[in-house]
């Protein structure tokens, strides 16, 4: 992959642009606020697998088309997969899709290249998880971060280990059980983002500056540093976590709260448990 190539298929859920040692990966479903699909997961996995041993790619920049990062999982697909009918049969695609999402995050998290996430607009649910596996997250000050899963009756299963690793258990628990929204500035204050930009112009300037800092570093030394640091932090075995997370996610989506929450989202109404004190 060289020059300024783009993903060949118009139906692709990502767009790829190469500028020398920098690979720009665009989440490319702007009409759905770049909600993640199984196809998007597969395409991202395939991309990172293809460059794992390619030291000519030194930086991967992940951002969302249409000036929004990602609204997380595709709720309409989740709602359909949560039906009792979808639970029957052979391979449980809901569980396998969740494990694939965990594998995607783990693959990005362990990529030898430096990964930069540029968060504009919304980073919700899985979008937060994606931002937390980047080595550097640059947030627009007016971006919005939230773990919205509990408001839909489901759980932030796959992304939890990465969010906890990024911001610590105390902050992750608060966000996980409330669904509270953070601005880019607030995300920066708790370490969810390392760099916060006040406007579009400064966002692009910060991205360029970050890329240039990385390109001054030796690529193999960077790869080795990235390999060693998670071990120093005592990161748990991800294969075990993926299974536990996938099981918890499936139970939640197919349980009464998950069915009600995702249906309420599709029907554009409040779920039945909402009882706010005035």
Q: What is the mean pLDDT of residues 144-171?
A: 93
What are the angstrom distances between the C-alpha of 98 and each of 24, 77, 186, 233, 251? 25, 12, 28, 25, 12
Q: What is the pLDDT of residue 272?
A: 84
Digit-coded pLDDT (tens) for 107-150: 999 999 999 999 999 999 999 999 999 999 999 999 999 999 99
88, burial (CB in 10 Å: exposed 0-12, middle 13-18, buried 19+): exposed
- 14-201+216-266 classified as CATH 3.90.226.10: yes
Digit-coded pLDDT (tens) for 59-108: 999 999 999 999 998 776 665 555 555 555 556 777 787 888 999 999 99
Q: In whole numbers, what is the pLDDT of the chain averaged over residues?
A: 87
Strand partners, 62: 25, 117
Q: Domain ranges in the chain?
A: 14-201+216-266
């Amino acid at each position: 992959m060289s020059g300024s190539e783009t993903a060949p298929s118009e139906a692709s859920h990502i767009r790829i642009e190469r500028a020398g040692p920098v690979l720009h990966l665009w989440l490319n479903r702007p009409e759905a606020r770049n909600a993640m699909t199984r196809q998007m997961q597969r395409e991202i996995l395939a991309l990172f697998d293809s460059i794992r041993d390619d030291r000519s790619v030194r930086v991967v920049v992940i951002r969302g088309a249409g000036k929004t990062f990602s609204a997380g999982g595709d709720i309409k697909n989740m709602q359909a997969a949560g039906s009792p009918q979808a639970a029957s049969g052979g391979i449980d695609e809901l569980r396998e899709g969740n494990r694939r999402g965990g594998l995607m995050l783990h693959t990005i998290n362990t990529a030898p290249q430096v990964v930069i996430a540029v968060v504009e607009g919304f980073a919700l649910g899985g979008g937060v998880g994606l931002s937390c596996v980047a080595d550097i997250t640059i947030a627009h000050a007016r971006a919005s971060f939230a773990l919205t899963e509990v408001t839909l009756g489901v759980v932030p299963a796959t992304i939890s280990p990465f969010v906890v690793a990024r911001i610590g258990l105390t902050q992750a628990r608060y966000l996980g059980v409330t669904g509270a929204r953070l601005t880019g500035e607030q995300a920066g204050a708790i370490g969810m983002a390392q760099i916060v930009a006040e406007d579009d112009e400064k966002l692009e300037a910060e991205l360029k500056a970050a890329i240039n800092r990385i390109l001054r570093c030796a690529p193999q030394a960077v790869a080795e540093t990235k390999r060693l640091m998670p071990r120093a932090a005592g990161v748990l075995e991800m294969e075990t976590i993926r299974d536990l997370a996938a099981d918890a996610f499936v139970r939640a989506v197919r349980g009464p709260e998950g069915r009600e929450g995702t249906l309420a989202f599709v029907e554009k109404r409040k779920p039945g448990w909402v009882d706010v004190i005035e």
